Structure 1
Amino acid sequence: MNRIDYLRISLVDRCNFRCTYCMPEDADIQYAPSPQLLTPAELLILLRGVFLPLGFTRFRLTGGEPLIHPQVVELVRSIAQWPETQDLSMTTNGFLLAAKAQDLYDAGLRRLNISLDSLEPDIFDRIIGNRGPSRWSAVWDGIQAAYRVGFNPLKLNVVVIPGVNDHEILDLAALTIDRDWHVRFIEFMPIGNHDLFHDRGWINSEDLRQRIRDRWGLATGQVRGNGPADIFQIPGAKGTVGFISQMSECFCDRCNRMRLSADGWLRPCLLNEMGQIDLRSQLRQGIEIEHLREQVKALLDLKPEINYKLRESGTTGLYTRTMSQIGG
């Protein structure tokens, strides 16, 4: 059984993008009112009083888009300074990153995952739901700024959508040849935009690997991190290519993570709300931290059973929330 020591923390449920695979244009997205979100002080109380004592040492800050949180740098600094923290990372769309990369690094953040679904500005803007001036350059500038500052590993996440961006697989993989960048291709999932998934389907990671293999060859690779990606390397490349194959190669039995949403719900799985705990409401009701810790410990004990049931049933898409609201 995997040791469960990794917590994904959603700082906000809002995002400054509206990616087609996450939030369909016609979707009525209901964000939590600000009073229903964990305050920074409440989040730190839960981390210090519940999760660190239970052996959590690895943390990822997500959203929505975490960089729109007004105290994101201060939260990074607080979590990074704890001696128990072995790893602290962040997932971002990169739009606000250029101005914040140095401050985040100075605060103690060392690893970043940045969404980059296309190298073609028009396609990129279509995917993120942008109808104004192109946002591609701002994201690319954020990636470059993070690279200059020293974030390592620097991972670029690509959701592969058939007929939309799958023709760019080789161009995206080529980014790893001369740069110490790590491009991760993610199979399109039926979460958020079920209609798009029904229309487009998804591409098996092995098919993507074969495209790269046919062009350059492909060897086993390594990169530091806690994720489920299978890692490979183009021979002679500085970086790696990874494949997250949640549709074709279930990895529930390898899952070592829990998810804390921006409104304070703890969930054991991206795809299932079984066993979820409302920590925020209980914290505000004055429930003692020891009791909250006992509840979380019970859920940790239940997680292997949840993982097994999901793997055996192949159940997906049980969330009613979008990927942005889940914490991605």
Structure 2
Amino acid sequence: MTPDASDAALVDGFGRQISYLRLSVTDRCDLRCGYCLPRGFKGGEAPGDWLSFAEIVRVVGAFTALGVRHVRLTGGEPLMRRGLPDLAASLAALPGLDDLSISSNCTRMAAFAEPLRRAGVRRLNVSLDSLRPEVFRAITGGRLAQVLVGIEAAREAGLAPIRVNTVVMRGVNDDEIEDILAYCIARGFTLRLIETMPMGAGRLATPAHYLALEEVRRRLARRFDLSPDLIQGGGPARYDRVADSETRIGFITPISRHFCATCNRVRLAVDGTLHLCLGQEGAYPLRALLRAGLDETELATHLRRAIALKPKRHLLRERLGQVGRSLSAIGG
């Protein structure tokens, strides 16, 4: 039995309709980004505690029956989950799902771009925090050249739009944002700059590395002709169009100018925990319920109960450096 169509909407206690699910398919990653993984991170959940593909499809199907229209595959690094194109194909076939996208570091994208496109993935967000090989390695521990090859493979496979996500860190990469924007302009990519969020125990997730993006925007405006713009499905970013190009630049400002009033998303971790806010600790465990044999009506009821617990706003600004949960634990 599925929820009645008249009830097919997830609305939290503050009137926000939840239409976007970020789905972490693994907590493993082949990079070690200093703002994401805690110091000394050795691993995550045991694979036996991961949701199976069948469980994932069931939960996502329950979400789409309740009005969720956009699912983004995340990790860790989602391409580390074996058989991911098969899962993507099953999700893309769900009734009501309009948009299946992926966030990736693109280290493995050269092998997966075509299979993902055939499976129904349409859009890509790629993490790219530096175009300087030595800085990229210092931030991530990885090889920049491998990532750039993966991004090009995604473009050739037809994944579009491609959005480059750059976490701006004072004293680390804040002096090369103009170069990253020029890279995006040359390829028709969208650039999204993200304020460092001082949460978890990552070596770069500290207040010392935080930089308000309004300062960065003023600097960019001295070199590039920027004008305010809107972008469909642009999420929490505030966008400018770069004159004489197809490129937009988005500013995601969870600290300096939060966007909680329009938050339409929740995050499902690989262990079946539903996280209701990136910057608060509240969560709703689903794995044990799924494995206890609840039916579809009961699952829908639990999803509604969870959404009712979504807080009005995060407290990242008030609690700089005090939110203990790392980004790697919940899919960013």
Distance 1:267 1:312, change over 3 A: closer
Query: 1:1-328 to 2 correspondence within 5 Å?
Result: 1-24=15-38, 26-48=39-61, 50-130=62-142, 135-193=143-201, 196-198=204-206, 200-274=208-282, 276-303=283-310, 306-308=311-313, 310=314, 314-315=318-319, 319-328=323-332
> Would the aligned equivalents of 1:273 and 1:318 in 2 still touch at CA under 8 Å?
no
The normalised TM-score by structure 1 is 0.91
SS at match of 1:191: coil
Distance 1:157 1:51, change over 3 A: same
Distance 1:316 1:61, change over 3 A: farther
Q: Distance in 2 between matches of 1:197 and 1:146?
A: 29
Q: What letter matches 2:312 in structure 1?
A: N
> Would the aligned equivalents of 2:240 and 2:248 in 1 still touch at CA under 8 Å?
yes
Percent identity between the two aligned chains: 38
> Would the aligned equivalents of 1:173 and 1:212 in 2 still touch at CA under 8 Å?
no
- Structure 1: where are the runs of 5+ without partners? none
Distance 1:248 1:75, change over 3 A: same
> Would the aligned equivalents of 1:91 and 1:113 in 2 still touch at CA under 8 Å?
yes
TM-fit CA distance, 1:272: 1.4
The normalised TM-score by structure 2 is 0.90
Aligned to 2:4: none
TM-fit CA distance, 1:291: 1.6
> Would the aligned equivalents of 2:281 and 2:325 in 1 still touch at CA under 8 Å?
no
Distance 1:39 1:156, change over 3 A: same
SS at match of 1:210: helix
- In the TM superposition, structure 1's runs of 4+ consecutive aligned residues that sit over 6 Å from their partners are none
SS at match of 2:258: coil
- Structure 2: where are the runs of 5+ without partners? 1-14
Identify, as 1 or 2, the structure richer in helix.
1
Distance 1:314 1:320, change over 3 A: closer
Instruction: Compute the RMSD of aligned alpha carbons.
Output: 1.9
Distance 1:3 1:228, change over 3 A: same
TM-fit CA distance, 1:201: 2.9
Q: How many residues align?
A: 318
Distance 1:319 1:294, change over 3 A: farther
1:46-88 CA-partner distances (Å, limit 9, x unpaired): 122x212211111011000000111210111111122311111
TM-fit CA distance, 1:175: 2.2
TM-fit CA distance, 1:282: 1.1
Q: Distance in 2 between matches of 1:251 and 1:199?
A: 20
Q: Distance in 1 between matches of 2:96 and 2:260?
A: 26
Deviates more, 1:11-20 or 1:276-285: 276-285
Q: What letter matches 1:120 in structure 2?
A: R
Deviates more, 1:234-243 or 1:190-199: 190-199
> Would the aligned equivalents of 1:272 and 1:317 in 2 still touch at CA under 8 Å?
no
Q: Distance in 1 between matches of 2:252 and 2:148?
A: 23
Q: What letter matches 2:23 in structure 1?
A: I
